[in-house]
Amino acid sequence: MKKRKICFVITSPIHYSRSKLLLKELKKHPSISLQIIVGGSAILQNYGDIVSVMKNDGFEADEKIAMVLEGGSPIAMTKTTGIGIMEFATAFDNLKPDIVVVRGDRYEVLSAAVAASYLNIAVAHIEGGDVSGTIDESVRHAITKLSHIHFATNQKSKQRIIRMGENPKYVFDFGSTDVEFAALNSYEVSEKVINYLGVGDAIDTKKPFLIVMYHPVTTEIDKNREHAKNLLEAILKVGIPTIWFWPNIDAGTDDISKAIRSFRETRKPKHIRFLKYLPAEQFLGLLKKCSCLIGNSSAGIKECSYLGIPVVNIGTRQSGRMKSSNVADSGYGVKEIIKSIEMQISHGHYKKSLIYYKSGVSKKIVEKLAGAKLYTQKKFFDQ
């Protein structure tokens, strides 16, 4: 029997981390031949090149695609999407996969979905149907409308995907692979690693510490620097040792980076260490131990719901997402942020929530990918 060729697309370091279990299941499935394309910020040193990390984990990239336009601006993001389509087209045309698997809502992901659709390759999409802020909100649903098989991470999202006209037979809610990975991970992060990487003062992870993950909001493009300054100010005032991850590559990233660099230069903050990337296991090992996650990352909404980590979620980036009680929403003001952090720290860890968790999600997805009847011509499913 001919194996089904399944091409997994990885375009950011975090994206790899969250897909690891899935990749392992894909690799070992007897009727699947796994292809991997790595591109976007996943192969940029400045964001944490994951090709060597992957090699250590036993995965090889079939193709590496440099596609990110410089500038951290809307136009850079736009052209990257165009370049991505051209490049994925050639890659898919040469690899000839039966299914292309994409996840999330980033522009490189849209590129892959567009390329596969036009090449009459079935597209499987993980994490569709969620609601959020930024341009991701538009793009996520556009990807849904280009995809043939949908793996939502929760019931509400599944219902939204169906509502958008997708065939219910191809819409599944097996839970979140991110959360599954977080649930299974038992790695204990070492202080040495943390303090070997990045810049800033050393952090003692045996004492209370915070994590910040703050990404640009593409639809508030003129405000990112100011908002980042507010957050830096708040973290400085709170005074608890903090591990701060540099922003992802979305439009506005340079504004946030500049805010950080200028802050470091002029305020010389003690007790803040800035990291670019941690391999998945180490990141989760670190996350489990932190007193509070602050920022606007979906990790606060998803992984932390299961781990019970208190989260201060700032601004609109995650607005609309299904949230557990561990999340305290905050506006962009310095005082409001400080108040929320203090409240969360005084509360301490939350009870484990299962809103995004189901066991065996990666296995179930891979079974569907291996066995689902494939089709090309989509048809709006009128109810």
Nearer Cβ to a second copy, position 89 or 338? Answer: 89
By CB under 8 A, what part of segment 114-143 binds a second copy? Answer: 114-115, 117-120, 131, 133-135, 137-139, 141-143
Q: Between 253-267 and 224-238, two packed helices, what is the crossing angle to 10 degrees?
A: 40
Minimum separation from the CB atom of position 94 to a second copy (A): 6
Residues in binding contact with a second copy, number by CB under 8 A: 77
DSSP run (H or E) holding 285: helix 280-289
What Å distances lie between residue 43 and 46, 71, 198, CA to CA?
A: 9, 17, 18
Query: By CB under 8 A, which span of 189-197, 249-257, 339-347, 357-365 interacts with a second copy?
Result: 249-257
Determine contact, residues 316/349, Cβ cutoff 8 Å. Answer: no
316 is an interface residue for a second copy by CB under 8 A:
yes
Nearer Cβ to a second copy, position 110 or 182? Answer: 110
- In terms of phi and psi (left: phi > 0; alpha: psi -120 to 50; beta: otherwise), the region of 194 is alpha
By CB under 8 A, what part of segment 179-208 binds a second copy? Answer: 199
Determine contact, residues 332/227, Cβ cutoff 8 Å. Answer: yes
User: For the chain, how big is the Rg over CA atoms in Å?
Assistant: 20
163 is an interface residue for a second copy by CB under 8 A:
yes
46 is an interface residue for a second copy by CB under 8 A:
yes
By CB under 8 A, what part of segment 340-369 binds a second copy? Answer: none
By CB under 8 A, what part of segment 77-96 binds a second copy? Answer: 77-79, 81-87, 89-91, 93-94
Nearer Cβ to a second copy, position 276 or 364? Answer: 276
187-196 burial, b at 16+ Cβ within 10 Å, e below that, comes to eebeeeebbe
Nearer Cβ to a second copy, position 133 or 247? Answer: 133
Among 69, 322, 334, 345, binds a second copy (CB under 8 A): 69
Nearer Cβ to a second copy, position 151 or 274? Answer: 274
Going 131 to 136 to 141 to 146, the CA torsion angle's sign is: negative
**Dihedrals phi, psi of 91, to nearest 5 degrees:** -60, -50
Nearer Cβ to a second copy, position 154 or 185? Answer: 154
DSSP run (H or E) holding 100: strand 99-103
